[in-house]
Amino acid sequence: MKAHKEAHLRSIMKAVSYRLLASIATSMIVFVFTRRIILSLGVGAVEAVAKMFCYYIHERMWSFIGFGQEKHPLSSLPVNRPLEEKDMEEVKKKLKELGYISED
């Protein structure tokens, strides 16, 4: 189970890295068919920008869809402020006592 949602920057970086790889493949395919390097690079560049935008939108839309995600059992507890380290240790200790987490 994930304890947090995916950040926007992570979605952007995933989109960029994937699109670079995929656009290189597209450029190579266009070159094989046309034997024109400038056309191949142009198609790859335009395709990269357009599909990065599409991927980012797609990724962010999926962050609102619960399909295939498990809800963390503690996520429904109302918390007024972030847990401090000492509080986190207390929570871990209590969860160990109750048998929810192992002793490692």
Instruction: Report yes or no on 18 lying in a domain.
Output: yes
Instruction: Count how many domains the chain has.
Output: 1
Does a structural domain hold residue 32?
Answer: yes
Contact between 40 and 23 (Cβ < 8 Å) = no
Helices and strands: H and E segment counts in the chain = 3, 0
Residue 100 is assigned to a structural domain of this protein = no
For 41-85, write each residue's pLDDT tens digit: 999 999 988 988 988 899 899 888 888 887 777 778 888 888 889
Q: Quote the tokens at residue 37.
A: 């390097």
Q: What is the structure's pLDDT at 61?
A: 93
The answer to whether the beta carbons of residues 8 and 55 sit under 8 Å apart is: no
CA–CA gap between residue 36 and residue 46 (Å, rounded): 16
Give yes or no for residue 104 having a pLDDT over 50: yes
Question: Is the pTM of the predicted complex or chain greater than 0.75?
Answer: no
Q: Which domain holds residue 36?
A: 1-70
d(CA 51, CA 24): 13
